Amino acid sequence: MANNFQIERSDEGGIRILALDGYLDAHTAPQFENAIHDEMQAGHQRMVVDCARLTYISSAGLGVFMSFIEELREIGGDIKLAAITPKVYQVFEVLGFPALFDILDTTQAAVAKFADTTPREA
Amino acid sequence: MRTANWLIPCGAAVSMAVMAWLFPAKDIYARLFQPRVTRAEAIELSRALGAQYGVDTSGWTWAATAETRSEQTAARIAYPDSAVLQSLNPLSFRVLATAPSGESMLTIFDPSGRPTAFQRRSVNAPRGAASEGAAPPDLLQRELERYAGARSGAFELTSSGVASQEGLRTAWEWRDPARTGILARFELVTRNRTVIRATYSTETAFRLLVHSRREQQQVTGALIGGLIGIGALIAFLGIWNFFSRMTTRMDHVRFGLAAGLLAAAPILSNWITGTIANQAAFASLDIGSSAATIILGSVTGSVLIIVGVGLLLASGYALLPERAKPHWVALRLVSQRQVLAAPVGREITLGLLGGAALAGLFYLPSLIPALTGGYVQIAAPVFLMNPAPAISPLSGLTTGVDLLALFAFFLPWLQARPWRGWMINAAFGVAGMIIVTAIRQPYPREIAASLIACGLVLAALAAIYRTTGVLAIWFCTVGLLAAKQAATQLSAGTPAYSAEGMQTALLWLGALLVAAMVWRFGAQVDEHAVIESMQPSGSSISRSDRDRLLAEFAVARRAQEGMLPLAPPAIPAYSLAASCEPAREVGGDLYDFLPFPGGEWGLCVADVSGKGVPAALYMTLTKGMLVSAASRAADLPLIASRMNRFLTEAGRRRTFVTMSLGVLDAPRGVFRHIRAGHNPPVLYTAQDRACRYLMPKGIGLGITAGAAFERNLEVEEIGLNPGDVLVLYSDGLTECMDTDRQLYGEERLCDILRRNAHLNASGIQDAILTDARTFRGAADPHDDLTIVVLRAEARDSLR
C-alpha cells in the first residue's frame, strides 16, 4: 500500500534523524510511534525530528512526541524538532511545545545543539 | 512498502530467466505438444484440404479450436518409446467450415499441420448403403500416405470397401511390434470415389493404462471433490453474508457490482474478436443445439459471471476489517470510475509484473530430481482458439476469480473472526493451497510437485498482496497468462508463432507502460480519505450486538449531553450562547459555565486529544476535575495546575487536554483568562471592527508535570465594551475540513464574525455554525465542534 505518511531515517554525527513526510494523524501516528520505539530499542537516545515535509499534524501526532520525551530525558536523551513549516509550527505553538522542546530552523542546527547543551527539563 | 516497487519487477525479471531456462525442457507445450501451426495457418490448411477433396469453401464461415486428449497424453508419457503412440499428438486443432446452406466440413490437424481427420456433412446426405463406385487403389494409397505420412508402410489393410450407411469403409492398422494392445488405425470412407470421412487414431488397451489412469483419477477425484466442497462453502458463506446484510447495505452491493464490471472486459473482448461465435460453432457441432441457443446461454453465463464477481466483492467489502482497507483503495477507486488515479496504476503495474513473476515459480519443483518425470501444464490452450490470440491473457480477469475470491473474500472473512493471527494464517494457507492446487494443478501427474508449486505461488501472491492490494492480485492472472503464452509462442520457433509471441509480449508491455504512466502521472489521491470513505464494517459483531451497542451509545450520548449546562447563565448586559457537536456518537469536547465568588462567571471550553469513546471517558474525568478544582480556588493558574497534575498522572502523557478558561467580571467589563494549549480565543472589538486572536502562553494539560507548566502559564486580562464579541472554540471549528481536505481556518472565522457582529450571541453562534457546515459540505465531521460566544450588549438594550 502506498501511504501519505513516510519516515526516512538517517544518521548524522551519532544523532538519529527522523524525517517526517506527509500527514501525521490518528491513522499514521502508530507508524511514528513504532519508529521512535525502534530507535530507543536500538539504543539511540538522541534524535532530531525533521519536519520540513510534514504537512499536517493532529493531536494524536502531538501525543507521540509527548509519550516518549520524559523517558528519553531520564536516560539522558532528547528529541529536538527542526525545519517546521509555519502552518505546522502554529499547531506546536498553540499547544505550548516551544516551552518543552528545542525547535530549530535546520537539522544541522539541531544536531549541533546536542553538542553544546544538556537536555532541557520537562 | 516502497521495496515492493522494485522487488516485484525484479521478481518478474528473474522469473523470465527461469522460464527461458526451464520452459523448453519442462513445459508440456515445448515437450509434448510442440505446436508449429497457428490458428490462422490451420484454417488455411483446412481450406486447401477441402479444395483437394472438391469442397469449394468460398463464402463459408470458419471456426477453429484446440483440444488436448488427456488419455493420449497419459499413454504417450507412459510409453515414450512407442513409435505408434508417438505418431499422434495429443494436441489437435479442429477447424470447422460451415456453408450458408448448412453443409459443413470438419478437419483436424496435429500441431505440425498434418491432417488427422476429415469429415464432410451434406444437408441432403444420400441414404442407404452404398454399393457402387469403389475407390481405386491409388486413391486409397494416396489418402493413407496423406494421413499416416512416412509411417504408411507399416500399416496393414484390415478391411476393404465394406459397405455401410456412410459409404464404403476401408481400414488399416499398425500394431506396435513390442507391445500388444497399442495400435494406430486409419479409416477412410468414400462414396462415388469421393472422400467423405478420414480418421487417424491411436488406441491403447485399457489394461496398459490402468496404473496411470487410476492414479490420475484418484488425484483428480479428490481434488475436484475438495474443490466443489470448498467452492460451495465459499459460495454459501458469501451468499449468506450478502443476504444477511442486504437490507442495510446496498452501498456494498453497489460497490461490488461497479468493481465487478472489470470482469466484463475479457467477456467483451471475446465478443468483439469473435471467440464466442467460434466457441458457439463448435458447441453446436458437438452437442447439437443451435448456435443462437448457445450464444444466448453464453450471454446469460457472462452476466452471471459479472454479477457473481460483483457479489463476491460486495461480500468481501462488507466484511472488511479496518486493517484490510488499505488493500482495497485501488479497487474502491475503480468502483468510483477513478481509473486514472495513481494507486490504480500502481496496482495494475505491479499486478501485471507480479503475474509474470509467478509464472517462473511453477517450473521450480521440476528441478527436484525425484519429480523430474512430470511435465508442467499451467493453462489450457486458450490462445490457440482465440482469433486475436494476443489479447487472450485478458481472460485471466475471469479465469483468475478463484485467486480473487481467496484474497477479496476469504481473507477478510478470516480476519473478521476473533482468531489469533497464526490461526488465520494457517487457515488461509491450507484453504489457499487446496484451491490453488485443485484449480491450477500444474503437474497433472505428480501431486507432490503440484503442491510445492502451488505453495510457492500462494506464498508469492500473499507477499504481493501485503504490499499492494486486491486489484493487483486480480491482474496477476493476466500477467501470468501473458508470460506463459508469450513463452509458448516464442518457443514454437515458426515465424507465424514468433510474430504472435511478439504481439502478446508487446501488448503486455503496452498495458504495463500505460499502467506505469498512470502510476507516475495519474491523479494523486488522498488514500486516507478513500479509506475513511469506506463504510465501517461492523461485521465482527452480530446484528443484535450492534443494536445493543447503538442503544448504549445513545444512552452515553444523552449522559454526556447532561454534563453540559442546560442553558447559559443570564448575565446582565451580556448575551451568551454555547453549543457542542460530537463528531461521533460520543465526543471529547466540553464547555462549562462556573459560578465564581463575587458574582463572577467562569467560561470554559476544553478539548481532549483523540475522539470517540476514549476521549469521551476523559471528557467526563476533565469535567469532574474542573468542577472540583474551581470549587476550591478562584485563582485561574491554581485551577489549571491542579487539573494538570491530575491529568498528567491519569493520562501518562498519551492523552492530553487543551483548555480555555476565563472569568468574566461583568460589572467592570473585564475578562481574565488562561489558555492551556488551547486554540486562541478570538476577540472582536466593535470600535475598530477588528478581530484578534488572544494567545497568552500556556501548555496543554497532562503534557508535563514539571514546573515548566506553571512557569509558562500566563493570565491575560482584556476589557469588553458594548458590541465586543468573544468566541471560545475547539479545533473542530478551525480545522473543520471540506471534501478536498481544506481547513476552515481562522480567517474565515474572523470574516463571518465581522459580518455578524451586530447580532446577539446566539445569532452569531448560528451564523458561525451554518457557515462551517456549508464549508464542510458532504465531508465527514472529523472532530468534535464546540463554541461559546459572549457578546457585551449596550446597557440599555437589556432592561
A59 touches chain B (CB under 8 A): yes
Specify the amino acid at residue B719: G
Q: Indicate the average pLDDT of chain B.
A: 85
In this prediction, residue B60 carries a pLDDT of 92
Least confident of A107-121, B186-200, B364-378: A107-121
Domain boundaries, chain A: 10-115
**Distance (Å, whole) CA B437 – CA B431:** 10
- Span between the terminal Cα atoms of chain A, in Å: 38
A60 touches chain B (CB under 8 A): yes
pLDDT over 50 at B798, yes or no: no
What distance in Å separates residue A59's CA from the closest CA in chain B? 5
Task: For residue A47, name the pLDDT band (cuts at 50, 70, 90).
Answer: very high
In this prediction, residue B766 carries a pLDDT of 95
What are the backbone angles phi and psi of residue B709, rounded to the nearest 5°? -65, -55
Least confident of B100-114, B243-257, B454-468, B723-737: B243-257
Least confident of B234-243, B479-488, B502-511: B234-243
What distance in Å separates residue A66's CA from the closest CA in chain B? 6
From the list A67, A96, A122, the residue facing B677 with the nearest CB is A96
Cross-chain Cβ contact A25/B528 below 8 Å = yes
Match domain A10-115 to its CATH number in 3.40.50.10070, 3.30.750.24, 3.30.2310.20, 1.10.645.10.
3.30.750.24
Selected residue of B333, B605, B609, B783 to mutate for chain A interface (largest A Cβ count, 10 A): B609
DSSP SS3 for B653? coil
Predicted complex ipTM exceeds 0.90: no
- Which residues in chain A are contacts of B653 at CB distance < 8 A? 63, 66-67, 69-70
Cross-chain Cβ contact B527/A1 below 8 Å = yes
Tell me how far CA of residue B446 lies from CA of A27, B364, B437, B452, B484, in angstroms: 48, 14, 11, 10, 20
In this prediction, residue B288 carries a pLDDT of 67
A95 touches chain B (CB under 8 A): yes
Place of cell 486572536: B693
pLDDT over 80 at B732, yes or no: yes
What DSSP letter does each residue of B720-769 carry, written as one string? --TT-EEEEE-HHHHT-B-TT--B-HHHHHHHHHHHHTTS-HHHHHHHHH
Q: Give residue-wise pLDDT tens across range B368-425.
A: 887 766 688 887 777 777 888 888 898 888 888 888 989 998 898 888 887 888 888 8
Q: Give residue-wise pLDDT tens across range B114-168.
A: 999 999 888 766 655 555 677 788 889 999 999 998 888 899 999 888 888 888 9
Least confident of B226-240, B276-290, B461-475: B226-240
Q: Give residue-wise pLDDT tens across range A62-76.
A: 888 888 888 888 888
In this prediction, residue B218 carries a pLDDT of 44
Averaged pLDDT, B618-623: 88
Q: How many CA atoms lie within 13 A of B515 on its CB side?
A: 22
Q: Full-prediction pTM beyond 0.80?
A: no
What distance in Å separates residue A70's CA from the closest CA in chain B? 9
pLDDT over 50 at A105, yes or no: yes
Cross-chain Cβ contact A122/B708 below 8 Å = yes
Selected residue of B332, B693, B703, B744 to mutate for chain A interface (largest A Cβ count, 10 A): B703
Task: For residue B219, name the pLDDT band (cuts at 50, 70, 90).
Answer: very low
In this prediction, residue B244 carries a pLDDT of 64
In this prediction, residue B492 carries a pLDDT of 84
Q: Which of B426, B94, B523 is nearest to B283 (CA)?
A: B94
What are the backbone angles phi and psi of residue B198, rounded to the nearest 5°? -140, 135
What distance in Å separates residue B293's CA from the closest CA in chain A? 46
Kindly list the structural domains of chain B, giving each domain's residue range(s) and its CATH number in brackets, ordered by start. 2-27+210-533 (no CATH), 34-204 (no CATH), 551-797 (3.60.40.10)
What distance in Å separates residue A2's CA from the closest CA in chain B? 7
Specify the amino acid at residue B661: L
More confident residue, A63 or B352: B352
**Distance (Å, whole) CA B475 – CA B404:** 9
In this prediction, residue B684 carries a pLDDT of 95
Averaged pLDDT, B432-448: 81
From the list A3, A23, A99, the residue facing B699 with the nearest CB is A99
Q: Which of B719, B779, B349 is nearest to B528 (CA)?
A: B779
CB A55 within 8 A of CB A40: no
- Residues 7-26 on A with a CB inside 8 Å of B are 23, 25-26
pLDDT over 70 at B229, yes or no: no
Q: Which of B507, B496, B477 is nearest to B408 (CA)?
A: B477
What distance in Å separates residue A117's CA from the closest CA in chain B? 18
Q: Which of A57, A100, A110 is nearest to A80 (CA)?
A: A110
On the 0-12 / 13-18 / 19+ scale of CB atoms within 10 A, B494 is middle
Q: Give residue-wise pLDDT tens across range B665-691.
A: 999 999 999 999 999 999 999 999 999
More confident residue, B777 or B771: B771
DSSP run (H or E) holding B544: helix B543-563
Nearest CA in chain A to B745: A87
* CB-CB neighbours of B631 under 10 Å: 12
Least confident of A35-49, B279-293, B518-532: B279-293
DSSP SS3 for B35? coil
From the list A28, A60, A100, the residue facing B708 with the nearest CB is A100
Task: For residue B173, name the pLDDT band (cuts at 50, 70, 90).
Answer: very high
From the list B528, B658, B707, the residue facing A27 with the nearest CB is B528
In this prediction, residue B769 carries a pLDDT of 94
Point out which residues pair with B728 in neighbouring strands: B788
Spell out the alpha helix ranges (H) of B61-130: 70-78, 83-86
What DSSP letter does each residue of B366-407 carry, written as one string? GGSGGGTT--B--S-SGGGT-SSGGGGGGGHHHHTHHHHHII
- Which residues in chain B are contacts of A97 at CB distance < 8 A? 699
Q: Give residue-wise pLDDT tens across range B740-749.
A: 778 888 899 9
In this prediction, residue B131 carries a pLDDT of 56
A85 touches chain B (CB under 8 A): no
Point out which residues pair with A103 in neighbouring strands: A81
DSSP run (H or E) holding B590: strand B589-595
Cross-chain Cβ contact A100/B703 below 8 Å = yes
Cell numbers found for residue B314: 460486495
What DSSP letter does each residue of A97-114 carry, written as one string? GGGTS-EESSHHHHHHHH
Cross-chain Cβ contact B527/A3 below 8 Å = yes
CB B186 within 8 A of CB B147: yes
Q: Give residue-wise pLDDT tens across range B521-532.
A: 988 888 888 887
Cell numbers found for residue B624: 469532574
pLDDT over 80 at B544, yes or no: no
**Distance (Å, whole) CA B83 – CA B177:** 10
**Distance (Å, whole) CA B187 – CA A84:** 88
Point out which residues pair with B190 in neighbouring strands: B168, B195
**Distance (Å, whole) CA B681 – CA B531:** 33
In this prediction, residue B695 carries a pLDDT of 92
CB B443 within 8 A of CB B365: yes
- Which residues in chain A are contacts of B6 at CB distance < 8 A? none
- Which residues in chain A are contacts of B712 at CB distance < 8 A? 96, 99
Q: Give residue-wise pLDDT tens across range A5-21.
A: 889 999 888 899 999 99
More confident residue, A58 or B107: B107
